[in-house]
């Protein structure tokens, strides 16, 4: 079964971030916000919720600045929980973007690098 279009975008964006993090003071991770199965006698009897509903798919730290990226297809829409989390991130001084393609991710990174210029990393160590 091929990956969902949103998953394919997420994988491509993570590849971009992998290379960007080699040159810039950038750390990133993917949020796995899936419920944990509760088992009894080798049977799943329910699920324990984890995390917060609506958190971004990808989390970035650039020079101490938090950036949340929600990955969507060209026509994908945010859930109400995602809109609430976006508001809370921005209220706390973080940045939140909807990312719909690798080109979109590259453009947002360029904006961030321009608005918050930091020296490139020395990878010769």
Which one is the CATH code of 5-115: 2.60.40.10, 3.40.1350.10, 3.10.300.10, 2.60.120.10?
3.40.1350.10
Query: Are the C-beta atoms of 26 and 61 separated by less than 8 Å?
Result: yes
Residue 4 has pLDDT above 90, yes or no: no
Q: How confident is the model at residue 125 (pLDDT cuts 50, 70, 90)?
A: low
- Look up the pTM and report it: 0.87
Q: How confident is the model at residue 27 (pLDDT cuts 50, 70, 90)?
A: very high
Report CA torsion sign: 84, 51, 15, 77: negative
Query: Are the C-beta atoms of 58 and 95 separated by less than 8 Å?
Result: no
pLDDT tens by residue, 55-96: 999 999 999 999 999 999 999 999 999 999 999 999 999 999
């Amino acid at each position: 079964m091929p990956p969902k279009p949103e998953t394919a975008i997420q994988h491509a964006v993570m590849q971009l971030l992998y290379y960007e993090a080699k040159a810039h003071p950038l750390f990133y991770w993917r949020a796995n916000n899936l419920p944990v199965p509760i088992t009894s006698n080798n049977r799943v009897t329910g699920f324990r919720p984890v995390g917060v509903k609506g958190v971004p798919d990808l989390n970035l730290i650039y020079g101490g600045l938090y950036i949340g990226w929600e990955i969507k297809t060209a026509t994908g829409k945010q859930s109400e929980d995602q809109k609430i989390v976006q508001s809370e991130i921005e209220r706390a001084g973080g940045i939140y973007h909807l990312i719909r393609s690798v080109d979109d991710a590259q453009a947002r990174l360029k904006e961030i690098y321009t608005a918050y210029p930091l020296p490139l990393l020395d990878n010769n160590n």
